Amino acid sequence: MSPDTFFRLFFAFLVIAVLGVRFYGHLKAGSFGSRNRSSYDEGRVTRLLRPLPVLLGIASILYIIAPELMDWSTLDLPVWMRLVSIPLGLIAALAMTWVHMTLNKNFSGRLEIREDHTLITDGPYRWVRHPMYTAVITLFVAVFLLTANWFIGLVGLVMNVAVIAARTPKEEAMLVATFGDSYKEYMRRTPRYLPRVFG
The per-residue pLDDT for range 9-36, each reduced to its tens digit, is: 999 999 999 999 999 988 887 776 656 6
Tell me if 30 sits within 8 A of 117, measured CB to CB: no
Three-state secondary-structure class, residue 39: strand
Tell me if 40 sits within 8 A of 174, measured CB to CB: yes
> What's the predicted TM-score (pTM) here?
0.90
Which CA distances in Å does 65 have to 5, 60, 61? 10, 9, 6
The per-residue pLDDT for range 32-85, each reduced to its tens digit, is: 665 666 666 677 777 777 788 899 999 999 999 999 999 999 999 999 999 999
In CATH, the number for domain 3-30+37-189 is 1.20.120.1630
Which CA distances in Å does 10 have to 7, 81, 114, 143, 160? 5, 15, 36, 10, 22
Domain ranges in the chain are 3-30+37-189
For residue 176, how many other CB atoms are within 10 A of its CB?
15
What pLDDT score was predicted for residue 49? Answer: 75
Indicate the DSSP class of residue 154.
I
| Helices within the chain (DSSP H only) | 3-29, 44-49, 52-65, 79-103, 131-147, 156-179, 181-189
